A = this chain, B = another copy of it.
């Protein structure tokens, strides 16, 4: 039950209708690790700079996450992102992307990270994803994220790494962009023909959908009164989803297990957006997660009624 994630560890400056933060711990690997740490021993792989402070190390190590492969680049600065969300949170504008230590990042995995049962390739340049993928030869489940940038400028590399993973997790519009298909169902089926056994379409505030050879499964997002900060919601979802798989080493990884994993990803993501950055998931409890998964089950269940229809 060991889980390696490669991806960004960052400082974020975020402005949302709920408020503003000048500098807080963020990054895909960070949000993923905080969520996945409920399910497995997580090993994030990614670079940080001299400015990476004690409090950030402490947060990253929440629930036993092992930071041996978080590489401190001497003289470097940690990846920095600054962005702002629109009034209804549907759109976000990036003001600053300072790659810093990420610009020359070459993933170095310890033997323990290479031996992981489960691997998540967060959104980084596809060639780096492939490099890490090829080092982790013992993984029984490999999932990956990406983004429109790589679809547009590194399409061939992206196709290549997708062909080596078990599950692709992407926004519905990115799935359609990647495959040039008009519906998410067609896009997902095309990707299933490239190698992956599962495709997860992230639908933002509308939830997420799972596509496998055995069918389709979908969950709404958990309904929230207030959304404070959507940053990291997708990676937190992935952390719950992939983490859940890692927590079930003796179960066959099929449609039914992945559907349950979706519920955990959805629950984790809903907590993440309630507060800025890592604040909420850092202090989240196992009971809170289980309670929200049970709520989701109730909120989507209905009985099929053999009502007599007119003809």
A interface, CB within 8 angstroms of B: 17, 37-40, 63-64, 87-89, 176, 182-186, 203, 206-207, 209, 211, 215-220, 223-227, 244, 247-248, 256, 259-260, 262-263, 285-286, 289-290, 293-294, 297-307, 309-311
Contact = CB atoms under 8 A, between A and B. Distances in A.
14 contacts: A38-B311, A39-B307, A39-B309, A87-B182, A183-B225, A185-B224, A209-B223, A215-B299, A216-B299, A220-B220, A247-B307, A263-B304, A290-B306, A297-B303
A207 B220 contact: yes
B38 A310 contact: yes
Nearest to A251: B305
A67 to B, nearest CB: 16
A260 B300 CA distance: 10
A294 B207 CA distance: 21
B217 A302 contact: yes
Given A259-B302, A285-B311, A223 B227 contact: no
Nearest to A37: B310
Nearest to A302: B259
B223 A220 contact: no
A137 B65 CA distance: 64
A38 B311 CA distance: 6
Q: When A and B form their complex, which 10 residue pairs have the shortest distance between CB atoms, in order from nearest?
A: A218-B220, A286-B309, A206-B206, A185-B223, A38-B309, A259-B302, A300-B300, A216-B223, A297-B304, A216-B299
A97 B256 CA distance: 48
Nearest to A311: B286
Nearest to A208: B220
Given A63-B311, A216-B223, A88 B299 contact: no
